[in-house]
Copies of this chain bind each other. A is one copy, B any other.
Amino acid sequence: MTRPPARPRRADALRNYERLLAAATDAFAEHGPQAPLDDIARAAGVGNATLYRHFPTRQALLEAVFHDHIQRLCHRAEELASAPQSAAALMSWLKDVAAQGSAAHGLAASLMAAMEGPEDSWCRKAVSDAAAALLARAQEAGEIRIDVTVRQLLKLVNAIALATEADPKPEEADRLLDILLNGLRTPSGRRAGA
């Protein structure tokens, strides 16, 4: 499995790594996921080739920047896995994903890319597994349509996050997500809380 980026052991390399990550975090937050890599290297006070050494692709840098973010989402999914109402738990988690996705510039694009990319990406696997557990439970309880796959679900949520990323109103994303969630329910399970 494609592992998350290994942190260097040598002191100076580790220092550069951390600086790059901090600079990239700022750059992505301010200029979106397509911020120039050269600018990030310069802001970190590091040669541009050093950036490329640590993070071979832009996607690798994005995943590193959002690593904690993604871990938090996965952790949240584990908590919700034992929540009493399975459908409500899934909905709640999806709202989290969408909210984070449209708040943190680049996260949604990053997740979408991971979902399209190689199946052995740690990022894709982590998020897929987290979502799969919640989805399966809600489907077994008969509350969510059985004909929905994890892949489709995550694609839809990320698509919404992407579509509303630029939007000034956060409630807009909520509205779109509500429509999606409403569509996911089985007719009989429709009355349960959102």
Q: Name A residues whose Cβ lies closer than 8 Å to a Cβ of B.
A: 112, 116, 145, 147-148, 152, 155-156, 158-160, 162-164, 166, 172, 175-176, 178-184, 187, 190
Q: Which residue of B lies closest to A151 (CB)?
A: B172
- Min CB gap A108→B, angstroms: 10
Main secondary structure of the interface of A (DSSP, over half): helix
Other-chain contact of A176, B155, B163, B181 (Cβ < 8 Å)? B155
Assembled-state Cα–Cα distance A148/B174 (Å): 12
Q: Is the CB of B176 within 8 A of A179?
A: no
Q: Is the CB of A179 within 8 A of B156?
A: yes
- Contact of A112 with B182 at beta-carbon distance under 8 Å, contacts A152-B172, A156-B176 already known: no
Other-chain contact of A180, B112, B172, B175, B183 (Cβ < 8 Å)? B183
